Amino acid sequence: PPLPPGAVHLPGWLPLERQRELVAACRAWAVGPVPIRHTRLPNGGVMSVRTVCVGWHWQPYRYTRTADDVNGRRVAEFPDWLVALGRRALLDAYGDEAAASAYAPDAALVNHYDGQARMGMHQDKDERSSAPVVSLSIGDTCVFRVGNTRPYTDVELASGDLFVFGGPSRFIYHGVPKVLEGTGDPATGLASGRLNITLRVTGLGD
Ligand code: MD3
Ligand code: FE
């Protein structure tokens, strides 16, 4: 099946030099006030991806300023350059200048996948906003799965790919069933695995 309305995939959107900068920023966040870690779920499970948050801390299933489930510290500030990146992403995905200028992401989730990591099918519904989610992938290619019902649509996400989920796609089910280990280019600065950065509007204000 085709991608649902509001879901836009722009392969190779982020130039290699920008990928390198983003990898460097993610590396710094990973060892920042709240270190990257495997998120523990209330049901006792542990996610196979490692996640570090920026702006707001996601703990299943809410956003907080402090990482009460890790070390209690306040997460890193959401930088202005990341807002600007999100606006350019929205503009290129939808071509709507007014919507792009008004986009004000305030949280980023940085996920790192090793070759065995997966993300099960889920909806992102902890945000109190229906503003689009911007997703950037770096490193190993993965299989990204999207759709509320079978048959799902599988798309390969490679390094530099942009995906935007807005409108009717904002609350769609999605997951990552497979990472294609060793497919990434070390020139990104990422030695192994896959990075995914999602920008969100929490709707929680200041
Ligand atoms: C569709 N991350 O962090 S990115 C997540 O590759 C998440 O790490 C995956 O799902 C990853 O929640 C998928 C693509 C993505 C992200 C957010 C979405 C697709 C989405 C939100 C709504 C709809
Ligand atoms: Fe998600």
For ligand 2, the distance from its centroid to the CA atom of residue 122, given in whole angstroms, is 6
Ligand 1 atom, smallest distance to 111 CA: 8
Instruction: Quick: pLDDT tens for 78-101.
Output: 999 999 999 999 999 999 999 999
Ligand 1 atom, smallest distance to 137 CA: 6
Task: List Cβ neighbours of 191 (8 Å cut-off, separation of 6 or more).
Answer: none
113-152 burial, b for 16+ CB within 10 Å, e for fewer?
beeebebeeeebebbeeebbbbbbbbbbbbebbbbeeeeb
**Two tokens, residue 195:** 């990075």
Instruction: Round the average pLDDT of the chain to a whole number and report it.
Output: 98
Q: Give the domain 7-200 fold.
A: Jelly Rolls (2.60.120)
Q: Whose CA is nearest to atom 17 of ligand 1?
A: 133
Ligand 1 atom, smallest distance to 172 CA: 23
Residue 58 pLDDT: 98
Instruction: Quick: pLDDT tens for 139-151.
Output: 999 999 999 999 9
Residue 167 pLDDT: 98
More confident residue, 206 or 138: 138
ipTM for the assembly:
0.98
Instruction: Quick: pLDDT tens for 113-129.
Output: 999 999 999 999 999 99
Q: Hey, where are the domains in the chain? A: 7-200
When pLDDT is averaged across residues 170-179 and rounded to a whole number, the result is 98
Instruction: Quick: pLDDT tens for 66-76.
Output: 999 999 999 99
When pLDDT is averaged across residues 160-183 and rounded to a whole number, the result is 98
Please check the confidence at residue 21 and state whether its pLDDT lies above 90.
yes
CB 86 within 8 A of CB 132: no
Q: Whose CA is nearest to atom 1 of ligand 1?
A: 165
Q: Are strands 37-40 and 7-10 parallel, antiparallel or unpaired?
A: unpaired
Please check the confidence at residue 206 and state whether its pLDDT lies above 90.
no
Q: Whose CA is nearest to atom 22 of ligand 1?
A: 170
For ligand 2, the distance from its centroid to the CA atom of residue 68, given in whole angstroms, is 21
Residue 112 pLDDT: 98
When pLDDT is averaged across residues 12-28 and rounded to a whole number, the result is 98
Share of the chain above pLDDT 70, in %: 100
CA distance 202 to 194: 24
Residue 196 pLDDT: 98
When pLDDT is averaged across residues 102-115 and rounded to a whole number, the result is 98
